[in-house]
Amino acid sequence: MLDYRPKGVKSPKFLACLAAALLLFSVARSNDAHAQAVELTHAPGDLVTDSLVASIKDWATKPIVIDSIIGRNKTSGVVPQDQIDALDKQWRAEREMDDQPLITSVLANPLSSYLTRIQAQSLGVLSEIFVMDQNGLNAGQSAITSDYWQGDEAKFQKSFGAGAGAVFLDEAELNEDTQTWRAQLNMTIQDASGTPIGAITVELNLTELERRQNAGIGL
């Protein structure tokens, strides 16, 4: 069969392949540009300033926090590991269920209400807050966490496990859903005598912190 296409005009199959290749290249460039757009220009330690840590310590040591942890510790005591594992398993299962008695018992308490209010008042700087008792179990939280027991994680071991006054800033991680950088600031909570009673984890939106810093906006 004679081909009447002008010279230089490729076959439809070739053009389709070329279009697909260009589309993939465009998407790759777009994704790369987007990834570059969310990169931090400051180290997390430079964004999490002493004044920010001090402000978190201020609201994290209010009576509602201290009294809630003390009350939980008195009620629960030292929980055996097998019971902790069972509670953690129940929590994970309830995340996929409509009936959530364990999760609700924590989310509905006064401490969780307080933490939710603190997070809302931060206007995007704080993305999650939860408080742990002496066993590393959640005593209050601003949102449903993936698990109930934090005792096997660095957030608890390097705060409560390190004693009174311990502060531990974990590594920054990219949140794929929001394309923002997050880092968890973890602190030991102690009572009036200075005895460690629990810990708090505050997830910080580093991208928002950097935006505010660059714009000269205070916290």
- Quick: pLDDT tens for 11-51: 445 444 444 444 444 444 445 434 444 799 999 999 999 99
Tens digit of each residue's pLDDT (9 = 90 or more) over 113-150:
999 999 999 999 999 999 999 999 999 999 999 999 99
* Percent of the chain with pLDDT strictly greater than 90: 80
| Residues ≥6 apart with Cβ < 8 Å to 38 | 174, 179, 180, 181, 207
Give the other-Cβ count within 10 Å of 90's Cβ. Answer: 15
Q: Write b or e for each residue in 175-193: b if 16 or more Cβ atoms lie within 10 A of its Cβ, otherwise e.
A: eeeeebbbbbbbbbbbbee
Rounded average pLDDT over 84-111: 98
Domain boundaries in the chain? 11-40, 41-215
For domain 41-215, give the CATH number: 3.30.450.20
Per-residue pLDDT of 160-211, as tens digits, reads: 999 999 999 999 999 999 999 999 999 999 999 999 999 999 999 999 999 9
